[in-house]
Amino acid sequence: MYTLSSKLKLFSIILVVVGAIGLTVGFLSAPSSIEEVKEMMASHDAHGSGHGDSQAAEIHKGNTIHAENGLEKDHHSGDEHYKHVLHQLQNKPWAALYVAAFFFFMIALGVLAFYAIQFASQAGWSPVLFRVMEAITAYLVPGGIIMFVILTLSGFHMNHLFHWMDPDLIDPSSEKYDALIAGKKGWLNSGWFLFRAAIFLLGWIGYRYLAVKFSRKQDEDSTGNKWYKKSFKWSAGFLVFFIYTESIMSWDWIMSFDPHWFSTLFGWYVFAGLFVSGITTIALITIYLKSKGYLEFVNNSHIHDLAKFMFGISIFWTYLWFSQFMLIWYSNIPEEVTYYITRIEDYKLPFFGMLVMNFIFPLLVLMNSDYKRINWFVVMAGIIILCGHYVDVFNMVMPATVGESWFIGITEISAVLLFLGLFLFVVFRALTKAPLLAKGNPYIEESKHFHY
Amino acid sequence: MASKVIHVLYTDDDVLMDAVKQVRGEHYHIEEVYTPFPVHGLDKAMGLAPTRLAITSFMYGCVGLTVAITMMNYIMIEDWPQNIGGKPSFSYIENMPAFVPIMFELTVFFAAHLMVITFYMRSKLWPFKEAENPDVRTTDDHFLMEVDAGNHDLDIMTSFLSNTGAVEIKVIDKQEDNH
């Protein structure tokens, strides 16, 4: 049995407290009126920082483009811009919260999918890691509830993360009427959106509850592998449910930030990201527990296999990223390519930095077979991969919510710390709930002797 | 000069693996093992040096990548710049995404083909080469371990080997020029 050390407990609580304080500061320091925005931007300029200048230059550029298109309205060049920045800055703490909440939630979801695949494929190598996976998926419950709360707050206009939720956009008499979004209102409306989210979360958490229950029961009574067989059937069924709901979730929770834009492989793209993050987390927690003297039955062949998955799925993620990018880049259709134009112009560093972190780094570090067995190599690659996928989520969420007003500052880091603390606390507390070896699993002996 | 080797035949790969470990434990020298299929872990049990094929494969991949980059730069940018999909930028880096599939394919192509050819050369295999297996049954269901008799006592050796689960033991006079 694993016991949660008081040090780790304290560490996670400190993370939560520090994160909560930083996030509160972020929310409080968000401007509440146009005057404050003007003041903030003026003080930036007064400091003579290049940032303010370049922003001002961009404003000009934006306006000339509008003028050329003959779309410029008189009020556009005045307060309209400050109002725009105000909305972005008001969105910023919410978006930071959203990115971090989703990132840790997707880790738990990725591990859940990985866990179900182990059962459905009757994998013989992995049962020694089942308790680690079950513990990570424990975060699905608090993480899912937090996601649902944030989405509900958006639905009730407590924040403006989702542009399409603005009722004026679908009102034909309104000046802001948007025919494209109005055309999608059958799918994109708050009620149906939240209902879907509830169904997805109930399905995932429900499967998680059953799978963990079966796994514990199998330990108590392994005659005839009754519980194992149940788990097999439920896992196979869950995977079908999962791949549909995960796709729809990715459209709803991420792609709809840019409601005009769509990509048909977006579901797969998000899946690859959450899958590799989940597997990386399994490897990191396994290595941590081994370093503390637990999981003595896990050998370096298990770590090797996890690292192979980290390597392989990182490449798979890159393949999907590139497939999405190249088609849109090549066809250069304005309504599609705008997605990448904003990212390359306003998010150059995170956009290309993420490719280095998620592709080139794991490619070079984890290519060699021997390195996949060296714990500190796997840990180093794992931390970079996790940071890279945080930036990936950041890149997917931020451009549509805060635009060029993005910045990785106290608010963003605090949001990550808050959820990291919560994640560690929930996961390691869940680890104490059951023996670390799923001894009833029919493949447990094969897994213990797994040798590559 | 003729030297003596002992051919020991087995019918099971697990028995063979145990036998290899025992023979090495007795410090007899195993010249070669002939098997009808690759036996997992046999190289480690025999104490063979790890293969360097993966390193060559990586280098071939780098060659392939370089070839692809130089080739596309020459064809599409320098020699005959082409306007495809409204992208006549005359700059390699700006057109690079279009060349990524080619870069990927040529990397794989070079790595795979040259690695296979290296493997053949390293294993001394070429077309019309005569088979080296001393016993045709090693292509069907028998495993043959060739042990160097050296200056050991043949009687002790054969009795030891028959205890390792061998189904047949033959002492062979091997001509050096047979190699």
Q: What is the dihedral of CA B82, B87, B88, B93, to 10 degrees?
A: -100
Of B54, B58, B98, Cβ closest to residue A330: B98
| Pairing state between β B143-148 and B168-175 | unpaired
Quick check: B179 pLDDT over 70? no
Note the pLDDT tens digit of each residue in A197-223: 999 999 999 999 999 999 999 999 888
Nearest CA in chain B to A330: B85
The per-residue pLDDT of chain A, averaged, comes to 89
At B64, the pLDDT band (50, 70, 90 cuts) reads very high
Of A57 and A396, the one with more pLDDT: A396
Instruction: For residue A242, list its beta bridge partners.
Output: none
Which residues have C-beta within 8 Å of that of residue A250, sequence separation ≥ 6? A266, A267, A269, A270, A271
Paired residues of A360 in beta bridges? none
Q: What is the pLDDT of residues A97-145, one digit of tens each?
A: 999 999 999 999 999 999 999 999 999 999 999 999 999 999 999 999 9
- Is there a contact between B87 and A322 if contact means CB atoms under 8 Å apart? no
pLDDT at B134: 87
pLDDT at A288 over 50: yes
Q: Are A330 and B85 in contact (CB < 8 Å)?
A: yes
SS3 A263: coil
Q: What is the pLDDT of residue A47?
A: 54
Q: The tokens 């409204």 sit on which residue?
A: B86
User: Given this model, what pLDDT does residue B172 score?
Assistant: 86
* ipTM tops the 0.85 cut: no
Do residues A134 and A434 touch, judged by C-beta distance below 8 A?
yes
Q: For an interface test with B, give the residue of A308, A316, A329 to mutate (most B CBs within 10 A).
A: A329
The predicted-structure confidence for A289-324, as pLDDT tens digits, reads as follows: 999 999 999 999 999 999 999 999 999 999 999 999
Q: Which of A46-50, A177-181, A190-194, A247-251 has the lowest mean pLDDT?
A: A46-50
Q: What is the pLDDT of residue A78?
A: 65
Its pTM stands at 0.87
Residues B100-116 have pLDDT tens digits of 999 999 999 999 999 99
Please compute the mean of the pLDDT values over residues B119-131 and round it to a whole number.
Answer: 89
Indicate yes or no: CB of B100 within 8 angstroms of CB of A367: no
- For residue A329, which residues of chain B lie inside 8 Å, CB to CB? 97
Interchain proximity A369–B97, CB inside 8 Å:
no
Decide if B98 touches A, using CB distance below 8 A. Answer: yes
CB count in 10 Å sphere of residue A387: 16
Q: Across the interface, do B87 and A325 touch by the CB < 8 Å criterion?
A: no
Hey, what amino acid is at A12?
A: S
For residue A55, pLDDT over 50 is answered with: no
> Percent of chain B scored above 90 by pLDDT?
47
Please report the pLDDT score of residue B50 as a whole number.
Answer: 86
pLDDT at B160 > cutoff 80: yes
CA distance B74 to chain A (A): 21
Spatial separation of the C-alpha atoms in residues A68 and B69, rounded to whole Å: 39
A-B Cβ pairs (cutoff 8 Å, strict): 20
- pLDDT > 80? residue A63: no
Q: Are A265 and A324 in contact (CB under 8 A)?
A: yes
Question: Could you give the C-alpha distances from A70 to A63, A64, A65, A66, in angstroms and in order?
Answer: 10, 10, 9, 6
Instruction: Determine the residue of chain B that is closest to A452 in CA distance.
Output: B41
For A451, the closest chain B residue by CA position comes to: B41
Report long-range pairs for B41-47 (Cβ below 8 Å, ≥24 apart): B41/A451, B41/B17, B42/B16, B42/B17, B45/B17, B45/B20, B45/B21, B46/B20
* B54 inside 8 A of chain A by CB: yes
Q: Of the candidates B85, B87, B100, which has its C-beta nearest A322's C-beta?
A: B100
Evaluate whether A354 touches A391 at the Cβ level (below 8 Å): yes
Whether residue A326 and residue B98 make contact (CB cut-off 8 A), yes or no, is yes
**Average confidence score pLDDT of chain B:** 89
A272 class by beta-carbon count within 10 Å (0-12 exposed, 13-18 middle, 19+ buried): buried
pLDDT of A49 > 50? The answer is no
Structure token digits, residue A452: 């590559």
